[in-house]
Structure 1
């Protein structure tokens, strides 16, 4: 169901419920008022009957016979009955009155407090009337024709009013929903105009305060991220194409030249060796790109891993690759409550690869000893610091070092590489819930810091 229809339906039901509750209250209040007013008339008739028939006419005399019964009747279908203290019927305004209802409530009349009940379609009030020490019980019954007619009219008015109001509520709900959703419709139109070719467009953020403005601001932040991701992807594809095309072109050119011009086996071997180096470079680049892609996988198996073991393996690989390079490992303070320190939850091969990339960069761009420290930055945070005294990174290139295939000018002039190590390392560290930061000064060296959440102590 569309949000517009949901709003209309909920608005209609809510207002209709409030209106029905108000109508029921009005009807109930009017019905209660009618009953109180009519009972007051019946009670007044009881008192009037007592004064006329008992106090002045004296029921024990023959004067009552001279009073015509109909002279006392003033209400529709009125009936009057008078009983003695012993329960004997002394007077009835009609010989055909059904006295069973009066007899059933006769014993409940005691004192001046009246008793009310319904019987045979009439409302009845019974009360005691005492005169000269002689308590009589008087019952007056009647039907409130005028009151019930007013209730019928009120029901008709409320029914017609509710039906008419329902139509107005639906129309008002339609305009209310349309007005409420108009900013949403505007956002939808703006979003539909944004495609992959114009991600620089942004949505109107309105007053930047209400929920619609917050939604637009969220969309704009998402679009900014998408634009950056698209630009990074374009840059990655451009660099990857260039990096892949260069060794392929070199290898092909070398082989073509060898076929056309090499005259002896020695020249052919030199050409083949040159092509072989280019192919090795191509294989290394391809493997690095595959490793970078695999670093994005979020379905890796996670288990308790000793980070110091991963670091030791990375140091061994680095020592084998750079046999003459000095790498010094030190340990910071370890919390005393830990029986098994340096534990993280993650994937050991990926963590080893990430640490090896940092060590490889430090050894590649620095001839001085490399300092490595494993410590706790906090009770729940592990920290690995790799510091070298190499060429450093230019300030302009530092914000781009995590872009795939990007290499700073100083790095290009110093050593070979593909510019995939740091991007791959940051993705692996973030995949484990950590963060990688790099600080560098040109001519002074570079410091890479890895922070990872430590495994909780069981």
Structure 2
């Protein structure tokens, strides 16, 4: 269901409910007022008739009947009957319309003094008249034709009024709901023109600080992220294509040159070794991509290993110095806990090792003296592993992109690599509930700090 239709229906339901409650209240109050007024008139007629018949000596039943017939205040189908204590009828204005006095009715009248009741279409009242020596019972009844006709007309008028108001409300609700969602429709049309062709465009924002303005601001922020994602995607595709094209082109060129003429076994063997190196490079690139995919799909259920961080650092130092004799790694402990168990965390041993190896190997690779310094600092909030180098550094313009896959700054184009390592480190850190901070100065050095929260402490 469209929002405009939904808003209109809700508006109609709310207004119709309020209007129905108001009309029903007016109807019931009017009905109550007319009923009370009729019973009051009927009671006055009954009491007046009883006083004339029982109190005034000069008035007999014949004269009283004539007075009743000629009275302009007489009610429609009116009947007034007077009974004595023995339930004997002493007077009635209309024999055909008189109400019989039974024991049950007599008891109710004696208890309540004035007892109202309905007798078919008649409104009736019984009065215990005690202004004479011997009390009497006066029964009066009449048909409220005026009240019934008035309420019938009132129902018709209220029904017509209700239908007219609902019709008016429907038109007004449709109009105002359209005005209310017009900014959203305009926003949708603008978004259709923005995505995906004109990603630089944004929704107009005002200073109203209303819901629509806040929504526009939120959508603009989302468009900023989407545009950035598109740019990173294009960068990723471009970089991975470049990384794959280089070894493939080298392999193709070497094989084509080898097939141009007959060559010696030694030359063929040299070409095969060169092609094998290129294949190994492709395998390494593929493995790094698989690692990146594995980390992206990793879940917290994989964080089940008890890792002693200081021992892991010594293991990584031994691994890297054996892999390259030029690498030097210094491990410093700035702040350590009193309890060594506080250096143990729950995590994924293989992935965490991969992250630190990447950072330490990069530090050795880019440092002028091939030396990296690893500092371990403990606090009540987290464990910090800072890996420093004294090398070429990173330009400020490149800092916001270094964790994107395949991104490589202009300073590292001459150094072998794929631009995947830092992206892998950042995702491993996030998987462990932490993050990676970087501080760098060109031609002075870079420090990467891996922060692991103590919330995952074993």
1:49 aligned residue: 49
For the 8 Å contact 1:80–1:141, the answer to whether it is kept is yes
How far, CA to CA, are the matches of 1:127 and 1:313 in structure 2? 110
For the 8 Å contact 1:42–1:125, the answer to whether it is kept is yes
Alignment of 1:82-97 (within 5 A): 82-97=82-97
Unaligned runs of 5+ in 2: none
For the 8 Å contact 2:52–2:64, the answer to whether it is kept is no
CA pair 152-221 structure 1, distance change in 2 beyond 3 A: same
Displacement of 1:362? 1.6
Query: What is the total number of aligned residue pairs between the two structures?
Result: 450
CA pair 135-196 structure 1, distance change in 2 beyond 3 A: same
Displacement of 1:232? 1.0
- What's the Cα RMSD here? 2.9
For the 8 Å contact 1:376–1:382, the answer to whether it is kept is yes
How far, CA to CA, are the matches of 1:229 and 1:412 in structure 2? 24
Displacement of 1:178? 1.4
The alignment status of 1:327 with 2:302, answered yes or no, reads: no
CA pair 457-35 structure 1, distance change in 2 beyond 3 A: farther
CA pair 146-405 structure 1, distance change in 2 beyond 3 A: same
How far, CA to CA, are the matches of 1:51 and 1:369 in structure 2? 126
How far, CA to CA, are the matches of 1:339 and 1:33 in structure 2? 86
Alignment of 1:288-327 (within 5 A): 288-298=288-298, 301-308=301-308, 311=313, 314-323=316-325, 324-327=327-330
2:60 aligned residue: 64
Unaligned runs of 5+ in 1: none
Displacement of 1:225? 1.0
1:282 aligned residue: 282
CA deviation vs aligned residue, 1:58-100 (integer Å, no higher than 9, x gap): 8xxxx62442525325111111122224443322223334534
Q: Secondary structure at the match of 1:131?
A: coil
Displacement of 1:253? 2.7
For the 8 Å contact 1:330–1:374, the answer to whether it is kept is yes
- Structure 1 range deviating more: 323-332 or 24-33: 323-332
Alignment of 1:229-248 (within 5 A): 229-248=229-248
- Structure 1 range deviating more: 219-228 or 322-331: 322-331
How far, CA to CA, are the matches of 1:259 and 1:382 in structure 2? 58
2:447 aligned residue: 447
CA deviation vs aligned residue, 1:6-25 (integer Å, no higher than 9, x gap): 11221111111111111111
The alignment status of 1:370 with 2:372, answered yes or no, reads: yes
TM-score by length of 1: 0.88
How far, CA to CA, are the matches of 1:335 and 1:224 in structure 2? 47
- Structure 1 range deviating more: 208-217 or 41-50: 208-217
How far, CA to CA, are the matches of 1:280 and 1:128 in structure 2? 118
Q: Secondary structure at the match of 1:9?
A: helix
TM-score by length of 2: 0.88
- Structure 1 range deviating more: 83-92 or 71-80: 83-92
CA pair 396-185 structure 1, distance change in 2 beyond 3 A: closer
Alignment of 1:330-345 (within 5 A): 330=333, 332-334=335-337, 341-344=343-346
Displacement of 1:153? 0.5
